[in-house]
Amino acid sequence: MNFVSQTLTVAGKDIRSEIRTKESLNAAISFAIVILVIFSFAVDPSAEQIKEMSGGLLWIVFAFAGALILNRSFARELGNDCLDALICSPVPSAALFTGKAAANFVLLMVVEAVSLPIFGVLYNMQWMRDPATLAAVCMLATWGITIIGTVFSALTVNLRLRELMLPVLIYPMMIPALMAAMRLTTVLISEGTIPADDIIWLRLLVGFDIIFTALSVMLIDTVLIG
């Protein structure tokens, strides 16, 4: 088995396990919808104001809902010492990590795909003005979130205060990706295109993904094995 098939095997296992149990996907989708609904009570903005804060609102929802998925990523392997079995298996740590990150990525993309139309309906917002670019931005930012989330999920998996420590550690680290995603989503929803001035945010997103993916793959052996 090469690296790609090992990664796909781990990702497939995680996605299958999630589809069968739906332990974090249901919670993440429900949580995302609840935040979208509560936000409408918190403020009563005009359509123009909603456009201006759309990116911020959506990515706060995705980041909060994402933490529920990321928290379970390695924690679900603790029962029956499955994590030890995975580490002992002939799959290298990097493939195990990228497989788990890929599964988290797919699950978070599902949450986003469900949340976006609900956001459009609840806030009467035309969000499909440039769906291809919006999808690309969502994929880049979601990868950034999942890569940081997955590595820190592995780092905190054996802690007593796991559920508490993970958000404390990941949100500050994710801020560059979230800032870029918020800005790009806002301009895509309000203007339908990314102005030349905002291309720097796209570069920041790509740079963030490359740097943190490389760093995570390099360090995951140490995190999992020591």
Partner 1 sequence: MRQNVLIGLALLAGLWLARNLYVIFLGLPDEAAQGAIYRIMFFHVPSWFTCFTAFFVAGISSMLYLGKKSTMYDTLAVSAVEVGVVFTIIGLVTGSIWGRIIWGIWWTWDPRLTWALITCIVYSGYLMLRRAIDDPTARAKNSAVLCIFAFASVVITYKAIDWWRTQHPGPVLSIRTGGGNMDPAMEAMLFSNWGALLLLCIVLVAVRMKQEDTSREVESLRRYAHAA
Under the binding rule (CB under 8 A), the answer on residue 210 touching partner 1 is: no
Nearer to partner 1, 36 or 205 (CB): 205
Task: Give least dist CB 219 to partner 1, A.
Answer: 5
Query: Which one among 37, 82, 175, 210 touches partner 1, defined by CB under 8 A?
Result: 175
Nearer to partner 1, 90 or 226 (CB): 226
Under the binding rule (CB under 8 A), the answer on residue 173 touching partner 1 is: yes
Cα–Cα dist 124/103, whole Å: 32
Q: How far does Cα 109 stand from its chain's mean position?
A: 7
Task: Give least dist CB 40 to partner 1, A.
Answer: 24
> Is residue 222 helix, strand or coil?
helix
**How is residue 113 annotated by DSSP?**
H
Nearer to partner 1, 64 or 171 (CB): 171
Site string for partner 1, 153-172 (x = CB under 8 A): --xx-xxxx---x--xx--x
Nearer to partner 1, 12 or 92 (CB): 92
Q: List b or e across 4-33, with b for residues whose CB sees 16 or more CB atoms inside 10 angstroms.
A: eebbbbbbeebbeebeeeeebbeebbebbb
In sequence order, what are the residues at sequence separation of 6 or more whose Cβ sits closer than 8 angstroms to the Cβ of residue 8? Answer: 99, 102
Cα–Cα dist 146/131, whole Å: 22
Under the binding rule (CB under 8 A), the answer on residue 45 touching partner 1 is: no
Which two tokens mark 54?
Answer: 């759309």
Q: What angle do CA 81, 85, 86 make, to 5 degrees?
A: 115
Under the binding rule (CB under 8 A), the answer on residue 193 touching partner 1 is: no
Query: Which one among 34, 82, 214, 215 touches partner 1, defined by CB under 8 A?
Result: 215
Under the binding rule (CB under 8 A), the answer on residue 211 touching partner 1 is: yes
158 within 8 A of 72, measured Cβ to Cβ: no
Per CB under 8 A, the segment of 9-17, 44-52, 60-68, 152-160 that binds partner 1 is: 152-160
Can you give the binding site for partner 1, defined by CB under 8 A? 148, 151-152, 155-156, 158-161, 165, 168-169, 172-173, 175-176, 200, 211-212, 215, 219, 222-223, 226
